[in-house]
Structure 1
Amino acid sequence: MSGLLLPAQGLLFDNDGVLVDSEPSVVRSWSRWAVDSGLDPDEVMAAVPGRRAADTVALFVKPEDVEQSTALITRYELEDVAGTLAVPGVLDLVAQLADVPWAVVTSGVRELAAARLLAAGVPAPDVVVTAEDVVMGKPHPEPYLTGASRLGLPPGELIVLEDSPSGVRAGLAAGATVLGIGETALVSEAPAVVRDLTGARWTSDGLLLPDAALLRRP
């Protein structure tokens, strides 16, 4: 059989960069926040991927200012969701998951995650784990352990789909199979990496990935 089969009973998707392409919005919003906060936008952007907004903000502002600054970046991002698109292959794959346990596990807050999924036309699953649901964000495994628990499956029977090195570390630490999405994932520890989800197919045995999408094999 051509392609790569990752055995699993369910899927745990990161949101930004995996289900939805929100990068232009993220760059605009965080750059705006950085300038407003008297910070270097490039330095701030380097800290954003795979982290909760509050965790990123806490790297740059005083502890007493974290809550207010997090509310500001959240507002900026919510004001800029209109151009969010589905990552290639996502809509076709999600349409195959009607009877498959799957969840979204994102570092974003609930309101922003819902807005981006809606803008991209990606239906939200019953289980969505967001920044508000965990004490420790990625790269800590808590977000993915929470997602697995809510699906009622052991992490070892699930595939985590992630684009950021931080998220990949979280998935591996949780004990899941991890699939990297996009070229950024090539610098992570993800054993397998695909360009995007074009041609990905759910089978009775797990997730089948076409050769054409593979950037790295286990």
Structure 2
Amino acid sequence: MQQHRAQAFLFDMDGTLIDSHLLVERVWEAWCARCDLNLDDIRQYTHGVRTEDTVRMVAPHLNVAAEVAWMEEIETDTTGGIAPLPGAVEFLAQVPAGRWAVVTSASFPVLKARFDACEIRLPEVVVTSENVERGKPAPDPYLLAAQKMGIDPRNCIVFEDAPAGMASALAAGCRVVLVGDFISREPGVIGHITDFAQLTFSVDGDLLLSAPEPVLKGLRAIA
């Protein structure tokens, strides 16, 4: 059994806590049709980053703010087809209040709509696209979350599903557990799960995250 000690857990939202893949895909497909773009050409730029950053990268000739507003209106009004990832609700219910945060590339209205639809309580600290000048993969979102919680990023464990989010967390100095199909051996990645039921934790002042190998790799935890 491997254990890693942390003072807080920081969670990405889409693909990590909430399965919104079909909805996100439909929104980007509709936007590409609206702008005469090919979704297959831009899909690699949409995963885990802010909508505004993707639009700015793939269609810099457009009014970024207007296009983002168009997509976010759909995303806040439509929540069909989304659901919590396996074990996520049960896992979050065990984490003490004030010891976890959500760090997402979505806007706050989109975050709120999806959490409400999945009946997940919002934590005391959330970092959304509006809160940082630089989104993932820059370290700013996770640095801000740790700062708001008053915790050193090195004492945070991040749960992420996308390369951009992983890069953001590692650059901030956090350790990372990957969720879903994305697997990486980057230093600082301490494990990979497909179901939060694979993890257990206890509280002894700190949070002790536990799982059998190879779910959590035998890397040195920060005491």
Name the counterpart of 1:83.
81
Q: Alignment partner for residue 36 of structure 1, among 34, 37, 54?
A: 34
- Point out where structure 2 has 5 or more consecutive residues left out of the alignment: none
1: CA distance between counterparts of 2:152 and 2:52? 29
User: Which residues of 2 match residues 14-163 of structure 1 at below 5 A?
Assistant: 14-63=12-61, 65-99=63-97, 101-163=99-161
User: Which residue type is aligned with residue 118 of structure 1?
Assistant: D
Q: What is the SS of the residue equivalent to 1:202?
A: strand
Shift of 1:89: 0.9
CA contact (8 A) 1:168 1:188 kept: no
User: Which residue type is aligned with residue 118 of structure 2?
Assistant: A
Q: How many corresponding residue pairs?
A: 214
Q: What is the SS of the residue equivalent to 2:86?
A: coil
Deviations along 1:42-73, one digit per CA (max 9) or x if unpaired, are 12222111110000111122355111111111
- Point out where structure 1 has 5 or more consecutive residues left out of the alignment: none
Shift of 1:217: 6.2
- The 3 A distance-change label for structure 1 pair 9 and 119 is same
Identity of aligned residues (%): 34
Scaled by the length of structure 1, the TM-score of the pair is 0.91
Scaled by the length of structure 2, the TM-score of the pair is 0.89
In the alignment, does 2:208 pair up with 1:206? Answer: yes
2: CA distance between counterparts of 1:113 and 1:30? 17
2: CA distance between counterparts of 1:79 and 1:91? 23
CA contact (8 A) 2:101 2:123 kept: yes
1: CA distance between counterparts of 2:141 and 2:218? 26
In the alignment, does 2:195 pair up with 1:196? Answer: yes
